[in-house]
Chain A
Amino acid sequence: MSHLHLQADPLDPRAVEARVAAPGCGAVVTFIGTVRDDAKGTERVVALEYEAWPQMAGPEFDRIAAELAREWPEARVAAVHRTGRVAVGEASIVISVAAPHRVEAFAACRACIDAVKARLPVWKREIRSDGGTSWVANAEFAPED
């Protein structure tokens, strides 16, 4: 089973933490990405609409998890990503990492969200208060050519 779940319903960070918790882990770090009210001119962002490619998102997240495991062998990682419309203030992603100690838990969680932003096949469109929409790119997206 993949380390990643995609779901249209609101996210429950406690449920993600429960998937990584283990008796040998003294630290759990959870990153929650939330939709912010990003002002562009006079119009506010009221929601983001996420679209995923499920057939690839699961395998790609597993590859990210495998890379993390090479650097932090004892870290346990799980994530859940929203799809569809996500309102301002709601969580779009939850990543939890459990590890024996906090240093590797923080580092692996940071590396995980950075990789997700660069590689996970998920797209978002912002929906503004005037009804306008536009696709938004992560700064981490960097094709080689």
Chain B
Amino acid sequence: MNVTIHYFALLRERRGREVEDVDVEEGLTVRDLFDRIFPPEPDPPPPVLFVMDEEYVSPSTPLRPGARVGFIPPLGGG
């Protein structure tokens, strides 16, 4: 199934793009997807919050077909 990933701030710089579509298997969680794209070794990514369809979700939330996923690196608003 297909999901769209949005990258921001330092994760956008690290990934070299703002958005991408990826094809993933059923049952994958948002945390699984993040770990696949930003493996903890050898260069650990920053702590993140997870977003699906414009709402924060827990790391263990399974991906839905067509989901808009956001990986939220450390925030700086205000």
Contact = CB atoms under 8 A, between A and B. Distances in A.
A55 B9 contact: no
A145 B51 CA distance: 15
Interface in A97-126: 113, 116-125
Contact of A53 (B46, B47, B56, B70): B70
Interface residues of A, number: 34
A137 interface: yes
Interface in A39-62: 48, 50-53, 55-56, 59-60
A73 interface: no
B11 to A, nearest CB: 10
B73 interface: yes
Nearest to B49: A143
A119 B56 contact: yes
Contacts of B73: 123, 135
A122 B77 contact: yes
A92 interface: yes
16 contacts: A33-B78, A50-B77, A53-B8, A56-B51, A93-B77, A93-B78, A117-B77, A117-B78, A120-B75, A121-B70, A123-B73, A124-B76, A135-B73, A137-B74, A141-B74, A144-B58
Interface of A: 33, 48, 50-53, 55-56, 59-60, 63, 81, 92-93, 113, 116-125, 135-138, 140-141, 143-145
